[in-house]
Copies of this chain bind each other. A is one copy, B any other.
Amino acid sequence: MSITVVGSVAYDSIETPAGRRERCLGGAATYFSLAASFFTDVRVIAVVGEDFGPEQEAVFAARNIDTRGIERAAGKSFFWEGSYLENLNEAKTHSTELNVFASFEPKIPDAYRDSEFLFLANIDPVLQRRVRDAMPNVKLVAGDTMNYWIQDHRPALLEVLKGLDILLINDTEARMLAGNSNLVQAARSVIALGPRTLVVKHGEYGATLFHTSNPKGRRTELRTFRAPALPLKEVIDPTGAGDSFAGGFFGYLASSAAAGELTPAAWRLAMFYGGVMGSFACERFGTERLQDLSRPEIDARFNLLREITHID
C-alpha cells in the first residue's frame, strides 16, 4: 500500500567528527521517503525553493518516489546547519532558516488521495492536522514531532495526537510530552492522548514499541516490543537516522498490510527494519548511504541484526 508523507525537503550543512558537508540534500520527508521506498510506493508533499534543481529531483526519481506534491516556490529551500562535535547522539543547531517553509500550505495532489498510509513528519502541528483532515480515508496514520512543538505548541500538537495511530518520538520527547521520566508510565500517558501505538527511539541503543488495543483504557496492559540497534563501527553522520527509522518501520508496515492483516509479528519485523534503515543512514553524510543502498544489503543487515540479538 502506498504512503503519502508530508514534511521538510531541505538543505543541511553538517559537521561531525568525521568532517563537514555544505548544503547536502536533507529534511525529514527526504530521509523518510528514501528509506520507505525500499518497501513500498512513496509520495511526498513538501515545498522547496528555486535552489532545488534536477540533481535533487533525480535523487527521488532514482527511488521511484512520487514528487508531484513537492511545490516549487520563489525563494530558497528550508536550510539547517548543525554539528555533532561533542556528542554524536545530539545535534547542536547553529542556524535554521525556514525560507519557503515559512508560508508552506500543503496541497494534496489528486493522485495521492488513494494512499492508504499517511506519515506526518516533524513540522508545525497545525499543518500536520490539516493534511490529516484532508485525507480522512487513510487506513493508518503515523507521525513525528519534536521538543519545540511539545513545549511551545502543545494545544495544536494534542489535536494532532488525537488523529494518529502511531507516534514515533525519542526518549527525551516522550518524557517531555508525558511529564514523566519513567518510560513505561510515559508511554501509558502518551497513548491516552490518542495514538494506540507509541514507538520511542533510543538512538544507538534501539527502540521500544508500546501498543494497546484499547486506547481509552489506561489500565489495560500495554504490549511491548524492544528492538536493539546495531552497534556501528563508525558513525559518520547521525542526521536523519530517526526519520530513516520511521521510513523503514512504516514502509515495512505498508508492505505487510498490502499482503494482509497487520499481525503482531509484522509490527516486530517493522521495528527491526526501522533499526536497519536508521543504521544505514549513519554510515555516510546526509542521504548518501540511502541513495546507493540495495535491497540485498537491507536483507543482509536485517539478518545480522536478528543474529546478534536472538538467543536461538
27 contacts across the A-B interface (CB closer than 8 A): A88-B181, A182-B232, A182-B235, A183-B231, A184-B231, A184-B234, A185-B234, A205-B205, A205-B206, A205-B228, A206-B206, A206-B228, A224-B308, A225-B309, A226-B228, A226-B229, A226-B231, A226-B309, A228-B309, A265-B311, A268-B310, A268-B311, A268-B312, A269-B311, A306-B311, A309-B309, A310-B311
Residue contact B182 to A233, C-beta cutoff 8 Å: yes
Closest 8 CB pairs of A and B: A205-B205, A226-B228, A268-B311, A184-B233, A224-B308, A184-B231, A228-B228, A226-B309
Number of contacting residues on A, CB 8 A?
Answer: 32
Question: Is A227 in contact with chain B by the CB < 8 A criterion?
Answer: yes
Question: Is A208 in contact with chain B by the CB < 8 A criterion?
Answer: yes
Question: Is A107 in contact with chain B by the CB < 8 A criterion?
Answer: no
Give Cα A12–Cα B142 distance, bound, in whole angstroms: 46
Give Cα A311–Cα B205 distance, bound, in whole angstroms: 17
User: Which residue on B lies nearest to A204, using beta carbons?
Assistant: B183
Interface residues of A (CB under 8 A from B): 88, 181-185, 202, 204-206, 208, 224-229, 231-235, 265, 268-269, 272, 306, 308-312
Give Cα A17–Cα B241 distance, bound, in whole angstroms: 33
Contact (A311, B272) CB under 8 Å given A181-B88, A205-B205 = yes
Which chain B positions have C-beta within 8 A of A182?
Answer: 232-235
Residue contact A308 to B233, C-beta cutoff 8 Å: no
Nearest CB of chain B from residue A230's CB, rounded to whole Å: 8
Residue contact B268 to A232, C-beta cutoff 8 Å: no
Nearest CB of chain B from residue A192's CB, rounded to whole Å: 15
Which chain B positions have C-beta within 8 A of A312?
Answer: 265, 268
User: Which residue on B lies nearest to A267, using beta carbons?
Assistant: B311
